[in-house]
Amino acid sequence: MNRNSQKWGELPTLVLGQMYEYLEPRDRLNASLACKHWRSVLFQKRFFTNFKLKLHVDNDRQCKFFRHTLHHLTSELIIIFDFLNVFHIEKIRRILYKIARCDNLQGLRFQTNSVGLVPPGDISEESLALSRPQELKALTLASIKYDPSHYPMFSMENTLLQKCSTLQVLSLDYDTLTEELLHAIEILPLKKFLISVHGLDRHHRGISERAWSEFSANFNNIELIVSLIYAFEAVEVLQVRILRQNMPITHLRVLFCDYSIQWIDSAYKHSNKNIMDLFLRSGQDPFVMMSWRCKNLEEIVIHGYVLDPHNIVGISRLRGRTLKRLEVSMIDSTPTEASMDSFIEEINTLLGQKWGPLNLNNVHPALGYLPVPDDVRDEYVFDLIRRDISN
């Protein structure tokens, strides 16, 4: 019997292929389970006409088998992945590299539980390709503008978001936000709302206190994350045109807005511009003012700007123990080491937790005092935004 079994396993590939042609697909698959040789003969294009495959990126074994065996046999491929997962993105890169050389692929689709787009022009249901918007859990339309003073604007249909009846996470650029849109999303079960601020168009009408008050009344426990990203000009009018007393900001991110923030900080000495009147009258740093106005603020992350330790104390005094995270990478080194220790001790007492500036020897290179290439800084920004969306 062993000799007979061995002979069956040694049938020529041509003979096996001819045998398979007489079998139905399911029977052919079952026959291929006989041994490794019979299995290898199965994977020929003539046996995989109009072959459709759903590829789950989180399944390592399936991905490996696809790249090694099935990539040249698939006619239609659906890649299922989590676009917030960096490892998934890297796997997709390898998959696309493999199928780019296949002439049999006729259809390629991507499927995820979220949608992330940065489109120019207007956003409509057709451009989003939402065939089942009622099942969408996360919609990320915010972007990162590398030139915050010049970029295309787009508008959105307010009714589009209302069709996403189970939407829990939404991100938008501030330029897109209107009072009508803010009112439209009040019917959604949102748990997290992310707003990215870059430049600020002078024709943008802003959002009134009344609109934010109504929004806050509908979302008592929402996470509202406002991120200023390369916002070299928008920060100049942050207090005047963006922040509102009733705006329920819980998380603030200020990322590499050094030009404009330094301009504001030095305006007390070097500028007579009318836009600075508010700060000149108050005598307060913009971040201290922000801590006073944003009553729900529980996290502050500031990178790409050298902060005065007196202002960090002011922020800590205003927010107190309600501030769960205060992350700062660059502090003015003018105070002596002894006085800096005194500042840190007072901040610890005010926050009710052990606090200190980040150790620049153990952080991302983008957070240091030395200049870095743009792609290094972009890498940090992308990673932080992804974590904000997914956490």
Closest CA relative to residue 56, chosen from 96, 112, 131: 112
Q: Do 137 and 235 share a domain, yes or no?
A: yes
Which pLDDT score, from 0 to 100, does residue 118 have?
41
Note the pLDDT tens digit of each residue in 194-228.
999 887 777 778 899 999 999 999 999 999 999 98
Torsion of Cα atoms, 215 then 221 then 225 then 226, to 10°? 40
Q: Is there a domain that residue 344 lies in?
A: no
Residue 83 has pLDDT above 80, yes or no: no
Q: CA 8 → CA 3, 57, 184, 360, distances in Å?
A: 9, 37, 69, 67
300: in domain: no
Residue 65 domain flag: yes
pLDDT above 50 for 138: yes
Q: Is residue 155 part of a domain?
A: yes
Per-residue pLDDT at 235: 57
Q: Are residues 168 and 58 in the same domain?
A: no
Query: Which of the residue ranges 144-153, 210-219, 286-295, 329-338 would you say has the lowest mean pLDDT?
Result: 144-153
106 and 217 co-located in one domain: no
> Does residue 147 sit in the same domain as residue 261?
yes
Position 277 scores a pLDDT of 41
Mark whether 86 and 197 lie in a shared domain. no
- pLDDT above 90: percentage of residues in the chain: 22
Q: 149 with 218, same domain? A: yes
- Cβ-based burial of 358 (10 A; exposed 0-12, middle 13-18, buried ≥19): middle
* Shared domain check, 100 and 185: no
391 domain-assigned = no
**Residue 210 structural domain:** 133-270
pTM here is 0.65
Considering the domain architecture, whether residues 43 and 58 belong to the same structural domain is answered as no
Domain end (from 228, 245, 270): 270
Give the pLDDT confidence of 25-80 residue by residue, as tens digits.
Answer: 888 888 888 888 888 888 888 888 888 889 999 899 999 999 888 888 888 888 88
The total number of structural domains that make up the chain: 3
